[in-house]
Amino acid sequence: MNRTVLRMCPNPESGRMEGVKILVDSAFGYAVAGLASGLYYRELTKAQDFDGPTQLSTVHTHFLVLGVLFLLIVAVFERLFVLSASPLHRWFTVTFHAGLILTVSMQLVHGTMQVFGKEGSAAISGIAGIGHVLLTVAFVVFFLALRSAVVRAPEHRDFREIASTSTNVEEVA
């Protein structure tokens, strides 16, 4: 196991799963936010008798696809390659969460203004654009971290190492 991971976690066995646990917990938080934003969209438009297009309809999807699906895929890569051992991982984490939260926050503001018939400002679009730029940077950093993790991984693992890796649910938990 990488020495950086060993320094971050006092127990090496729990260290292998700590990054995965953080990603799964984050994905769960985004799932709750995605479901809540879908409920907010439905109830607000129903209460205001609104049936036109609004940015609120995309918040639910952004949370579920980017916040849940993507982070669960990253969790699989974390388990396989220990991406958190890379110095790029922190950059990815910060830019990804900041970008997603900034983007959906502005979608919520803009969408709510649309439902109430208010004119959106260029500032809202600009801030949402910054969120999208942060997400783009996060994706680039993620792929750089993934690429470096794949390069440093052995070309093929010894069969005995794979066989000794615990896949039993009781042992992992």
Question: Residue 2 phi/psi, 5° resolution?
Answer: -65, 140
Which pLDDT belongs to residue 6? 40
Cα separations in angstroms, 133 against 40, 99, 130, 160: 26, 7, 5, 44
Please give the Cα distance from 159 to 82 (Å, whole number).
19
Tens digit of each residue's pLDDT (9 = 90 or more) over 56-93: 999 999 999 999 999 999 999 999 999 998 899 999 99
Q: What is the pTM of this model?
A: 0.79
Tens digit of each residue's pLDDT (9 = 90 or more) over 90-141: 999 999 999 999 999 999 999 999 999 998 899 999 999 999 999 999 999 9
